[in-house]
Amino acid sequence: MSEFPPGAAFIGGEYVPMSEAKISVLDWGLLRSDATYDVVHVWKDRFFRLDRHVDRFLASIDKLRMTLPFNRARLEEILNECVVRSGLEDAYVEMILTRGHSPTFSRDPRDARNNFIAFAIPFGWIASEEQRKAGMRIWISEVPRIPAASVDPTVKNYHWLDLVAGMFDAYDNGFETVVLSDGSGNVTEGPGFNLFSIKGGKALTPSSGVLEGITRRTAMELLEELSVPVEAGELSEKALLASDEVFVTSTAGGIMPVGEISGKRFGAAVPGPVTEKVAALYWNKHTDPAWTTPVARTLAAE
């Protein structure tokens, strides 16, 4: 078995197989997690909400005071080309900008030459098919999320050591994944997903200490379309456990039900009625031209 998934990458100005996509050991993206990234998925040969993902990626680059070496149109062309070269119709497509490295190994980030990377690999899910049917089993960890005052969570980043510690905490307690708290009794997010609580026909998603996920925003729009009141605000651990139903959102899987949190089971049926409706509408939108961008299958000249 190959140690790399099938796919195609763009690095150093060239398209290469995944096995050849490598960065320098001096890149600050490796040494200091000094990087930002975004992930858009392709489903049935159509990018889903490409514009929103690119908007967030460019905003993150600005916040980190980096510079993309080309314009937006070229970025989208490279992402498309990675999908075409991968031969995939359902793909996980990542765009990355690292701080890069300084030719003199200077510790001044202003001396670094920023490094752009992109790749397309097979679409992946944060939950298995069994978990998506039975509902994910989540543990609320006592590990606090990195404070927003230290690392801006609205900039998609690789600062995951708090999430990784929480994941081991969940495994040690017999659960599949984790959601972290803010240290003050409120929940934030999990590794790669946002959280929604449904109670009394209303939806609430945490507003602080979280990445403002594109699928999170999509779920809020879909809930509004379904006439379900939704807001972003503080969500206490107590309120979460008192929910009628809970779901998570992620580019890697969309809208996925939660069956249990820290020993509390939700509802007689999983997914719950609101989750089921939102998930169905989410996948229906994957054929809507207003929400999707077709992959251009003609290879561009290098």
Looking at residue 216, what is its pLDDT?
98
- Using an 8 Å Cβ cutoff, are 295 and 83 in contact? yes
Residues of the chain with pLDDT > 70: what percent? 98
Helix (H, G, I), strand (E, B) or coil at 232: strand
Is 208 within the bounds of a domain? yes
Mean pLDDT in residue range 157-178: 97
What is the overall mean pLDDT for the chain? 95
Is the alpha carbon torsion for 46, 48, 54, 57 positive or negative? Answer: negative
Query: What does the pLDDT look like over 106-134, one tens digit per residue?
Result: 899 999 999 999 999 999 999 999 999 89
Helix spans in the chain (H): 28-31, 50-63, 72-86, 129-134, 161-172, 214-225, 237-241, 273-284
Is 79 within the bounds of a domain? yes
pTM for this entry: 0.94
Q: Are residues 14 and 53 in the same domain?
A: yes
Q: Are residues 158 and 116 in the same domain?
A: no
Mean pLDDT in residue range 62-70: 97
Is the preceding omega at residue 257 within 30 degrees of 0, hence cis? no
Amino acid letter, residue 178: V
Q: Are residues 16 and 113 in the same domain?
A: yes
Is 44 within the bounds of a domain? yes
Helix (H, G, I), strand (E, B) or coil at 240: helix
Helix (H, G, I), strand (E, B) or coil at 93: strand
Is 212 within the bounds of a domain? yes
Q: Are residues 112 and 199 in the same domain?
A: no
CATH number, position 180 = 3.20.10.10
Domain-ending residue, one of 122, 156, 189: 122
Q: Are residues 166 and 248 in the same domain?
A: yes
Distance CA(6)–CA(3), nearest Å, equals 10
Q: Are residues 28 and 47 in the same domain?
A: yes
Q: Are residues 139 and 279 in the same domain?
A: yes
Is 3 within the bounds of a domain? no
Is 18 within the bounds of a domain? yes
Helix (H, G, I), strand (E, B) or coil at 152: coil
Number of structural domains the chain divides into: 2
Domain-ending residue, one of 78, 105, 122: 122
Q: For 299, which DSSP code?
A: P
Q: Write the CB contacts of 129 (distance below 8 Å, at least 6 apart in sequence).
A: none
Q: Are residues 141 and 278 in the same domain?
A: yes
Helix (H, G, I), strand (E, B) or coil at 121: strand
Tokens of 87: 């031969």
Is 275 within the bounds of a domain? yes
Looking at residue 299, what is its pLDDT?
57
Full domain range(s) for residue 240: 129-287
Q: Which is it for strands 35-43 and 91-101: parallel, antiparallel or unpaired?
A: antiparallel
Query: What does the pLDDT look like over 193-249, one tens digit per residue?
Result: 999 999 999 999 999 999 999 999 999 999 999 999 999 999 999 999 999 999 999
Distance CA(11)–CA(19), nearest Å, equals 12
CATH number, position 97 = 3.30.470.10
Looking at residue 1, what is its pLDDT?
59
**C-alpha torsion 167→171→175→176, nearest 10:** 60
The residue assigned the tokens 């929910």 is 243
Give me the count of residues in the chain.
302
What is the CB neighbour count within 10 angstroms for residue 230? 18
Residue 180 pairs in a beta bridge with: 141
Is 299 within the bounds of a domain? no
Q: Are residues 117 and 162 in the same domain?
A: no
Distance CA(87)–CA(7), nearest Å, equals 7
Q: Are residues 157 and 201 in the same domain?
A: yes
Q: Are residues 153 and 114 in the same domain?
A: no
Q: Are residues 279 and 136 in the same domain?
A: yes
Domain-ending residue, one of 90, 122, 154: 122
